[in-house]
Structure 1
Amino acid sequence: MLSRRDRPLMQPRLLMIPVAILLAAGFGLTLLIFYPGVMTYDAKFVYEDIAKGTMGDWQSPVMVWLWALIDPIAPGAGSMFLLIATTYWLGFGVLSLALASRGKASALLLPLLAMTPPALAFAGIIWRDVLFATFWLLAATVAFAVSDRPSQTRLTGQVLALVLVIVGVLLRPNALLAAPILAAYIVWLSQFSLRKAAILYIPAAFGLFGIVQLVYYGILDAKRQHPLQTIMIFDLGGISHFSKENQFPIDWSEPEKAMLLNNCYQPTQWDIYWRLEPCDFVMRNVEREKGLFGTPAISRAWLEAILRHPIAYLQHRSAFMWNFLAADNLTMWTADVEHPTKNVFADRTAFNALVAAHDVLKPTPFLRVGFWLLACIIVCCFSWRRSGPREAAFALAVCGSATIYVLSFYALGVASDFRYGYWAVLAAIAGGVIVISGGSKGGERLR
């Protein structure tokens, strides 16, 4: 008969069995539903760059390089899908097994939540936003798993986690504003504090910015395609609409000016001015006829417009942010990019079942970015007051970084698809489960 001292050691081992079964089932289900992955137009453009042997900074050149590296595994969408699905389930798996090793029944909850539509419906879609989110999930969970391990194991895990954070920023450079929070956690683990994160924030942000410049334009020699000016074009259109004055450094015809000021603007995406009729005349003039796109003329016009009409700028940005957080935006991608009028995997039962579940949730808060932003804020509040240092540090790091990342779209967003907030979904699930798993409040408190 087992002694009282031996029983706690047996419980974690027994708990790991159902956890491992759930994780394996989840990974298998993801393969069944999605393999070889759902190609999107953005992903198609990235993959075409591999064949061309060119790299630009419109999409991440690191994704081009990474995809080319792994492409022989399953040429086409398959290799990138396998990378996304593997990092997705490794992220949840590492965290689940770390909880199971401590006898926490909440370890069973993580794989189940990972199989719900708000998370799983994107795990097979090839978007760099999804890959970025799974990389950061894995980074945070590896750091959590090694936080109570011997120093050599802990250091190895921390290095791996920091590399994953950096790669995430290289995939999504606008994540630079959120990365220092996650990096501070990885460096200090359970000794993480808001004061330390604040001290690290500016140096880390500048350091990550430097890494992006070095990798993009030094190592990979990416062509500058001026993606930042898409933000400026969107802002110039928005400020023109709300101020009822043309802010572009272009003299429009009277019909074009009337369209620009009254009819073109929607707080949804900058593509309205780029490729969508009837307002594609904006970029046709800016880029092709006047040759202004990518020049200082656009940057100067943007800055002057904000200084002259700050209220109009805030109206535009607030309208966009509300749409991003609360509107019924694009969520799961189901179109076949080779045959746009058809759905991908139309004859696959498992895929169609997930699409049906997704469609049921589509009108609900579960597929609104604002819901997951609020969930992350709540997790941060609860972790601050009710968790031990190890759990609180993890929850604050993932949900704090997700909060900053989503809020950064107030100034940086040019489209309002749900995928741009996907990191908040994974962070809220992982951080929320860690908070409810409990933990001693003893030891150093977070400050």
Structure 2
Amino acid sequence: MKSAHPTGHQELGDRAEGDGGVPSGIAAICALVVLGMATIAFAYWPGIMIDDARWQYQQSVDNAYEDWHPPAMAWVWHHLMLLEPGPGPMLLLQLSLYWAGIAMIALWVHRQGSPRLGVLAACAGWLPAPLALMGIVVKDSLMAGTLSSAVGFMLWSTTALNISHRRALGIAALIAILLAATLRANAFLACAPLALAALPRSFLSSGPRLALSALVSTAILAMAPGAVAAALHAEDMDTQLSLIIFDLGGITEHTGLNQFPDLRVANPVAVNHRCYDPFEWDSYSTWARRPCPLGYERFQSLVDEGDTDPRRVWVHAVVTHPIAYAQHRLAHFNISTWFLVPDNPEPTAWTQSVSNPWNFRVSPNPVLEAVDSAANEAAKSPLGWPICWIALALAVLITCRSAKLDRNVTAISASALLYGMGYLVFGVAAGVRYYIWTMIGAALAAVLAASELSRRRSPLDRGSAILPAAIVLVPAALAAVARLTF
């Protein structure tokens, strides 16, 4: 017997087909994706190299690596140089991963019977800050692109009818997640929820299996950067010292008691007061304009002598002065997320490469100026404040729990939330680029949640919607008030 009502897909085809036989939603998604990639490739060609990229490219040229920045990225860059020297191939790689992921996610939403929300998912790729930052050749952009593709593979694997296709897409998702995990020491926070969602359901069928899968996958993802560094014989640069020194400086500042080991510095508390800045750790770094006597170089020398275990010093300071540690971490996180601060973020992205031996430069052009201007204007609103995207990720996660939404939506919102909140512990510098994935992940999770709720045709009741709405609106309002009153 023929149904009197069309199915979701039939209804979609009836309503959304354009004059040329292609559904208008699909045409809009493809146009947004192609135009987005072309816009950034044209505006930022051959890709902007900040200091991080300059160091990594030198390692790629030398085929000799350090672990201060991800050697996995430098190794890939070394092989991309066979296509063309310079940042261009890496720019195309991160753009391709980013926009391929956005396309897969948007088309998947469209296929589920939500053409308008599919277009909205494609629009998420045009968020001003991530859009501008995708023109910067940097690990944060590459990681965001890789995770976007991972989410796309993961979603399509859940609806593939062919078992072999389902397995292939699931494996592709896990490979992309593992690659993303090699790009930052704290990337495992973003990757672990996605990895759990991408695993076969049999791995999660019971409480013990879920716990074991979570533990093993998190451990593998956390160890991935070190494993790659060891495989590439990357020089150990004691990268953990940046976090340790920053935290010791913060605890010293808030307690008035020296937490540093004996660095042969007279009156270290007063010296630290001059060096410490909750904005970032750079005042202790080797590239600081005014080197700090308590800084990285002297601390590393002490560690190299074998007389000091920096982790033990750090743990002792944190355990002994937990309140001071919390004050320091919260002060930095507040600035890093641009929450209760008097001003909006500094320029979100860059418009030119740093000076480099190869003279790679970006030609100024109106498109670049427009993209950069849009990002900086957005920084004056909640669109550019990381705290608001962290709040959105939390709101979606709560909605997923209360409405029992699909595990993929839960995983994406948890990924965005954990990664953003991770900077409360791991952050050593402020910059919107650290939150690219949190912004993109939260936006995509919100669209996917809206799509699933719309298909149910049973919207959230008022009680279930109040808390998520408050979680989104209250931080934005507080941040806005802070800028008007501080």
Percent of pairs with identical residues: 25
Q: Distance in 1 between matches of 2:218 and 2:146?
A: 18
Q: CA RMSD in A?
A: 3.0
Pick the aligned partner of 1:172 from 167, 178, 184: 184
Which structure 1 segments of 5+ residues have no match?
A: 443-447
Quick check: 2:243–2:427 contact (8 Å CA) kept in 1? yes
Give the drift of 1:49: 0.4
Partner of 1:125: 136
Structure 2 residue 335 is the aligned partner of structure 1 residue 306:
no
Alpha-carbon contact 2:184-2:225 (below 8 Å) kept? no
Counterparts of 1:397-416 in structure 2, within 5 Å, are 397-416=411-430
The residue aligned with 2:32 is 22
Q: For the residues of structure 2 that align with 1:281 and 1:317, how far apart are their CA atoms?
A: 22
Cα distance in 1 between the residues matched to 2:345 and 2:206: 34
| 1:228 counterpart residue number | 240
Report the CA distance between 1:81 and its aligned residue: 0.3
Q: After TM superposition, give the deviation of residue 299 of structure 1 in Å.
A: 2.4
Aligned twin of 1:445:
none
- Looking at structure 2, the residues matched to 375 and 344 of structure 1 have their Cα atoms a distance apart, in angstroms, of 37
C-alpha contact 1:346 1:352 (8 A) present in aligned 2: no
Local SS of the residue matching 2:81: helix
1:207 Cα shift?
2.4
CA contact 2:54–2:356 (8 Å) conserved in 1: no
> SS where residue 337 of structure 2 aligns?
helix
After TM superposition, the structure 1 stretch with the greater mean CA deviation from structure 2, 404-413 or 55-64, is: 404-413
Counterparts of residues 220-299 of structure 1 (less than 5 Å): 220-254=232-266, 257-260=269-272, 262-274=273-285, 275-283=287-295, 286-287=298-299, 290=302, 292=304, 296-299=308-311
Give TM-score scaled by structure 2 length. Answer: 0.81
Q: Which runs of no fewer than 5 residues in structure 2 stay unpaired?
A: 458-486
Following superposition of structure 1 onto structure 2, how do residues 15-414 of structure 1 map, counting pairs within 5 Å? Answer: 15-105=25-115, 106-149=117-160, 150-188=162-200, 198-217=211-230, 219-254=231-266, 257-260=269-272, 262-274=273-285, 275-283=287-295, 286-287=298-299, 290=302, 292=304, 296-326=308-338, 327=341, 328-330=344-346, 331-338=348-355, 345=362, 347-386=364-403, 389=405, 392-414=406-428
Does the Cα contact within 8 Å between 1:334 and 1:344 map onto a contact in 2? no
Following TM superposition, by how much is the alpha carbon of 1:4 offset from its aligned partner in structure 2, in angstroms? 7.9
Tell me by how many angstroms 1:119 deviates: 2.4
Larger mean CA deviation between 422-431 and 270-279 belongs to 270-279
Counterpart residue type for residue 276 of structure 1: A
Contact kept, 8 Å, 1:143 with 1:189, in 2: the verdict is: no
| Residue of structure 1 in register with 2:437 after alignment | 423
Shift of 1:179: 2.1
Asked if the contact 1:287–1:293 (Cα under 8 Å) also holds between the matched residues in 2, the reply is no
Q: How far, CA to CA, are the matches of 1:146 and 1:207 in structure 2?
A: 22
User: By how many angstroms is 1:164 displaced?
Assistant: 0.5
- One-letter code of the match for 2:372? V
Deviation at 1:61, TM superposition (A): 0.8
Alignment CA distance shift 1:299-1:292 (3 Å) = farther
What count of residue pairs does the alignment treat as equivalent? Answer: 434
DSSP 3-state at the match of 1:38 = coil
Pair 1:405–1:367, CA change in 2 (3 A):
same
* TM-aligned CA distance change 1:216 to 1:254, over 3 Å: closer
CA contact (8 A) 2:107 2:118 kept: yes
Once the 2 structures are TM-superposed, how far is the Cα of residue 436 of structure 1 from its aligned partner?
A: 1.7
Residue-by-residue CA offset, 1:198-241 (whole Å, 9 max, x unaligned):
55222212223444443221x21222111112111111111111
- In structure 2, what residue type is equivalent to 1:95? I
Cα 1:284–1:411, aligned 2, differ >3 Å: closer, same or farther?
closer
Structure 2 equivalent of residue 437 of structure 1: 451
Code of the residue aligned with 1:170 in structure 2: it is T
> Offset of 1:263 from its aligned partner?
2.7
Instruction: Find the counterpart in structure 1 of residue 482 from structure 2.
Output: none
Please give the TM-score of this superposition, normalised by the length of structure 1.
0.88
